[in-house]
A and B are shown apart, each in its own frame.
Chain A
Amino acid sequence: MSFPLSDVIVGILSTTLQLSPFYLFAGMGEIVSEQAGVANMGLEGIMLLSLMTTFIVDYATGNPWVALLAAICVAGVFGCFFAFTAIRLRMDQIASGLAIYLVGLGLSFVIFNTVYPSGLTPNYIPLPSLLTNWNTVPYVGTIFLKQDVMVYVSLVLVLVTAFFLTRTSLGLRVRAVGENPKAADNMGVNVNKVRFLAVIFGALMFGVSGFYFAGNFVPGFQTDVIAGRGFIVLAMIYFANWKPYRALFAALSFNLVYALQNEYVSLSGFGVASVTTLFNMLPYVFLLALIPVFGRKARVPKFLLKPYRKG
């Protein structure tokens, strides 16, 4: 092959890192939410809504930061709604999560279609790169320094989430509420308030993920454009045993497998779509193969999916 091997490796590693923030933001959000005992299955619906918002606001204002803010706000609104149904109304979390997903799936496309009836996606203005002049540093420059600012933010978020859950009093309360809400209540923790905050935090992070999806995955908005990638986050944090660092590992290895197969498919130049789709299965099969290894030791937060009623 005429491609220098080092370029290929740099490309693979760079893609691995580039795709991670989508899974990391959502992953940290869902970890906090599930540690508090609430699984938000509507995450992909919320992501679709904030992705749609990102495209519309980004084009209307020309400022991606405003789009980010708008995406987070939209996610927050739907997060509040989910929290209200799951915590206050004590609805089945999976059922109401899936309902939110359906609402997000339909509504995002309807709104997008109303704003842009032609169905064409407006030009997306990406976030500015911070370290453009570091490109020249060999290898390291392309892999680590040229990345979108959100890549660094997401890596910091993993550190912060890990610190938050284990070293801060609010973080400990979050875990207590998911592990033993009765005991937490007896100790004077407002169980449902902590759960509410955790779910809202999660939803805000889904908003950031939806925003990040706009510039880095599929160029444009269609129905169901996230195509299950949001739900994959649920699988990742399951393997990660609800631990932030392991979620980072899960996200990076998933993306590495994805980047490897992607690079292989494009280099080998299969004209045949059939072979490509077989390779596209690999990252998911990889995650599946991890289950017997890691799933065995999974320790689910004890009161995950169980609503709490005082008294």
Chain B
Amino acid sequence: MVVVYAGGNLEVALSSLFLNPITLAGGVQQIFVRFILFYTMGLGVGLALKAGLWNIGAQGQLLIGMVMVFVVYTFLAFLPWPVLYIAMILGAALGGLLWIAVPTILRVKFGANEIVVTILLNVVAINFAFFMLSGPIKSSGTALGFPHSIELPAQFKIPNIVGGTPITWAVPATIVLGIILYLVVERTPFRVKADTVGESHETAKYAGISIPRVMAITMLAAGALAGLAGATYLMGYRYELDIGSFSTNYGLVAIICALVGRKHMLGIGLASFFFAYMTIGAESMALSANVTTYVVFAMEGIMMLGILLGNYLTERRFLV
């Protein structure tokens, strides 16, 4: 729609939207890179949403996670390889967790709106990441151009499953993580607790559920997951951190995936795959139709509205 307006050819556009992601070189890799990113962050956003909390700051937590990978790498370099490897991944999760601890504490202790705080912290995270990038974790190699980190050495990259295929071990790991969360969250009384807190605080209080505890657990887990996404993104695909790594707001796409997946730990996975596929398709469509790739944002927004509209129509059929 948008692309046709912008002067593209409909046939070329459609074929690149649906076929290019799998036919073009690197397309499949890109799909899975995005899938991991959206799914890991989306799990967190969805978890918080179950308890009625909006984590608009997944992008900020992702950034802090990415920064933490390099902070651990730089300052704990004395650790032996496998320990450092794990420390980098855990450090990223811890970074995200600490970053969301601020809105969590303010929410639980002071009742401050988590939307407002996470939005504010997104801006702070960008500045903080920029600070770290131009100082403590800057690559000493090049002084010219925009600041960027060093590239991770090969032993810290997440290996591919089979040499030659573009899919890393991070893909099955993420899917396993999703299944574990499904078992822990959806198949235990925790789901009822979180849903009750999300629906009505009065009901939750009446049922004897500790509201602060549920809120804290879901929020902190959301932050840790977004931070973890930073580790898999850096160590499995990007390998170095520069300004380009935080120019796109993946946090918002994660929110869309969580909503489209109806906050279900496995549903979010399907939604993430769909959006990863569509994003890559839309990007290649924009390129082939000679439109700037930023058209993708508009398309994601329109898709989101379309899905919301679908929800509205199905609900209406049942209600009226």
Contact = CB atoms under 8 A, between A and B. Distances in A.
Interface of A: 45, 85, 89-92, 94-96, 98-107, 109-110, 113-114, 223-224, 227-228, 231-232, 234-235, 238, 272-275, 277-278, 280-281, 284-285, 287-288, 291-292, 295-296, 298, 300
B169 interface: no
B300 to A, nearest CB: 5
Contact of B300 (A102, A280, A284): A102
B312 A91 contact: yes
A15 B202 CA distance: 47
B110 A292 contact: yes
A277 B113 contact: no
B119 interface: yes
Nearest to A236: B116
B12 interface: no
A94 B111 contact: no
Nearest to B7: A114
B122 interface: yes
A151 B34 CA distance: 44
A31 to B, nearest CB: 14
Given A109-B292, A272-B135, A273-B134, A101 B301 contact: yes
Nearest to B128: A281
B130 A106 contact: no
Interface of B: 2, 6-7, 54, 56, 102, 106, 109-113, 115-117, 119-124, 126-128, 130-131, 134-135, 147, 247, 249, 252, 255-256, 259, 291-292, 294-302, 304-305, 308-309, 311-312
A16 B6 CA distance: 40
Contact of A238 (B116, B296, B308): B116
Contacts of B110: 291-292, 295-296
B300 A295 contact: no
Given A234-B119, A281-B128, A295 B135 contact: no
Contacts of A103: 297-298, 301-302, 305
A295 B301 contact: no
A272 B297 contact: no
Nearest to B319: A309
Nearest to B297: A106
A284 B124 contact: yes
A104 B119 CA distance: 18
Contacts of B124: 281, 284-285, 288
Contact of A277 (B112, B130, B256): B130
B200 to A, nearest CB: 12
A286 to B, nearest CB: 10
Contacts of A85: 305, 308-309
Contacts of A113: 291-292, 294
Nearest to A107: B298
B134 A274 contact: yes
A291 B114 CA distance: 11
A106 B248 CA distance: 11
A191 B147 CA distance: 53
B57 to A, nearest CB: 11
24 contacts: A45-B301, A91-B309, A91-B311, A92-B308, A98-B56, A99-B256, A101-B301, A104-B301, A106-B301, A107-B298, A113-B292, A224-B247, A228-B123, A228-B126, A234-B116, A238-B116, A274-B135, A275-B131, A277-B134, A278-B127, A291-B112, A295-B113, A296-B112, A300-B113
A264 to B, nearest CB: 15
B299 A228 contact: no
Contacts of A272: 134-135
B111 A110 contact: no
Contact of B106 (A102, A285, A292): A292
A102 B128 contact: no
Contacts of A89: 308-309, 312
B297 A280 contact: no
A33 B10 CA distance: 39
Contacts of B6: 110, 114
Contacts of B252: 98, 101-102
Nearest to B259: A95
A295 B255 CA distance: 25
Contacts of A274: 130-131, 134-135
A106 B305 contact: no
**Which 6 pairs, one residue from A and one from B, show the smallest C-beta to C-beta distance?**
A106-B298, A106-B297, A102-B301, A103-B301, A274-B135, A295-B112
A280 B111 CA distance: 27
